[in-house]
Each structure stands twice: as C-alpha cells, then as structure tokens.
A = this chain, B = another copy of it.
Amino acid sequence: MRIGELAARSGVSVRALRYYEEQGLLDAYRSGSGQRHYPESAADRVQLIQMLYAAGLSSRTIAELLPCVEAKVNTPESRARLAAERSRIDAQIAALTRTRDRLDAVIRLSGSPDSGCMWIADQDVAAETSHSATP
C-alpha cells in the first residue's frame, strides 16, 4: 500500500510517517518513481511506534529498541535496555496513579457540603483511598 492509505489505516498523518522513516523507525520499498510502498504489517508497526511515543519514549530510544524486530539482536545490552524502559514506564504508571488518587480525593471533597474544594495533603489521600490499587 502507499503512504496515504497507511496513514488512513493507522490514523497518523502522512507527514508523521515520513518523519518516522527519517528517524529510522519505519522503512519502505520504493517504486521506480520513488514512491513509498508498505506491506500490510506496517500498520501494526506504526501502532507500536505510537504506543511507545505515548509512553514517553523519544524517537532515538525507539530506534534503539526497534531493531529487536527486524534483526535477531538479543544481546544483554538490548535486554537491559528493554528492562530499563519497562521500569521507567512502571514508575510512570505509579506516579500517574498517585496523581489520579489525589484528584479523586479532591473530587470527593468537592462533593461534600462546605469543603470549598481544598487540596489534600498526602496522608489524607492515603486515608481516603483504600479502593484503587497502588501496588
């Protein structure tokens, strides 16, 4: 398929796809006239790239992790890299969970009569939140 269709299928812009190629995240076969052609699998690849972007990884980091797909690089370094990014994401989830719980506490007090919507200290959050999990 050509770039427009891939863009439509994967929900990203044509410009973004060219940018991904420029960053070494996505390669395309070129027809004689220079037009890009992608296999079906490219859509999945783009989804994965989007996931990693959404997880806060830079294109450089993604480029360092993705070779794991094409080549059979399974070195100690690549595994360490994967583990490092995994734990980064884990920490990010934990931080987001704390933030969400804090917002929850505010929302709960916002519903109560006179509170006037005050921000809550951490111990209050801990006391009020026994339902959503922070492992």
Output the nearest chain B residue to A45 by Cβ-Cβ distance. B119
A86, A107, A117, A133: most-surrounded residue (chain B CB, <10 A): A117
A51 to B100, CA, bound (A): 10
Output the nearest chain B residue to A119 by Cβ-Cβ distance. B69
Query: Which residues does chain B contribute within 8 Å of A116, judged by CB atoms?
Result: 72, 74
Is the contact region of chain A dominated by helix, strand, or loop, or is it mixed? helix
A82 to B117, CA, bound (A): 11
Chain B: minimal CB distance from A62 (Å): 12
Query: Which residues does chain B contribute within 8 Å of A100, judged by CB atoms?
Result: 55, 86, 89-90, 93
| Given A55-B99, A102-B51, A119-B48, A86:B74 Cβ within 8 A | no
13 A-B pairs besides A55-B99, A73-B117 with CB distance below 8 A are: A44-B121, A51-B102, A52-B99, A55-B100, A69-B117, A72-B117, A78-B110, A82-B107, A83-B107, A85-B103, A86-B104, A93-B100, A133-B135
